[in-house]
A and B are shown apart, each in its own frame.
Chain A
Amino acid sequence: GQSLEQPSEVTAVEGAIVQINCTYQTSGFYGLSWYQQHDGGAPTFLSYNALDGLEETGRFSSFLSRSDSYGYLLLQELQMKDSASYFCAVTGGYQKVTFGTGTKLQVIP
């Protein structure tokens, strides 16, 4: 099966940097994704890592270490609108996508 662990809540100050970690267990692995979800909304895609290393997309970066079954999402120059839940998701065998329980990020002034 597949399982993921990530912190349940994180608080950070506007303008700062925050890192959200994710560890996973999976049978078969294609990649690790990150999604953002605002209250009452649908999850939206942020990033995808299939290979080890860092992927950067604007203020957001995502890292993957397949040997450690570990990844993280890095958010820089935090803005109030970044307050949301962030989910890591593993794409495993048969392209089955399994989500973590989510990290609720609160950005404070």
Chain B
Amino acid sequence: NAGVTQTPKFRVLKTGQSMTLLCAQDMNHEYMYWYRQDPGMGLRLIHYSVGEGTTAKGEVPDGYNVSRLKKQNFLLGLESAAPSQTSVYFCASSYSIWQENMNTEAFFGQGTRLTVV
């Protein structure tokens, strides 16, 4: 059972380049999330999805777009990378609260370290 898999694990981009981060989960979870983590800032929610075909903005959505075309995949896109987007990006997924004993445990991928120069 792979859980949550993020690709790539590391990436260096030049300012203005675009890229897509892929998150895949094999637990049939309804909910998926993208976070960024910066020193001293904790985990900040970028976008999230409550089901296939749906997306919603989190705390820091500007400069990012997402898509959830298939239930198991959640893609995070950077159309024009900026140095301020240098960060560690984590994807997470969770059960619906109405399913697994009301527990909303989030399972995380191993992260993507992105540097924008």
Whether A and B are associated in the same complex: the answer reads yes
| Chain B residues, Cβ within 8 Å of A89 | 43, 106
Contact B45 A97 (CB under 8 A): yes
Give 1 or 0 for each of A28-65: 1 = CB within 8 Å of chain B CB: 00110101000001111100101000000000000000
Give 1 or 0 for each of B76-115: 1 = CB within 8 Å of chain A CB: 0000000000000010101011000011111111110000
Contact B108 A31 (CB under 8 A): no
Partner of A99, one of B42, B103, B107: B42
Given contacts A42-B111, A43-B90, contact A97 B104 (CB under 8 A): yes
Within 8 A of B (CB), among A84-109: 87, 89, 91, 94-102
Give 1 or 0 for each of B53-90: 1 = CB within 8 Å of chain A CB: 00010110000000000000000000000000000001
Q: Tell me the minimal C-beta distance from A97 to chain B in angstroms.
A: 6
Q: Tell me the minimal C-beta distance from B93 to chain A in angstroms.
A: 11
Contact B48 A44 (CB under 8 A): no
| Chain B residues, Cβ within 8 Å of A95 | 31, 50, 94, 96-97, 104
Q: A42-B111, A48-B105, A94-B56 are in contact. List 18 more A-B contacts (CB 8 A).
A: A8-B40, A30-B102, A33-B105, A42-B90, A42-B108, A44-B108, A45-B106, A48-B103, A89-B106, A94-B50, A96-B45, A96-B56, A96-B58, A97-B45, A97-B48, A97-B106, A98-B45, A99-B35
Give the B-binding residues of A (Cβ under 8 A).
1, 8, 30-31, 33, 35, 41-45, 48, 50, 87, 89, 91, 94-102
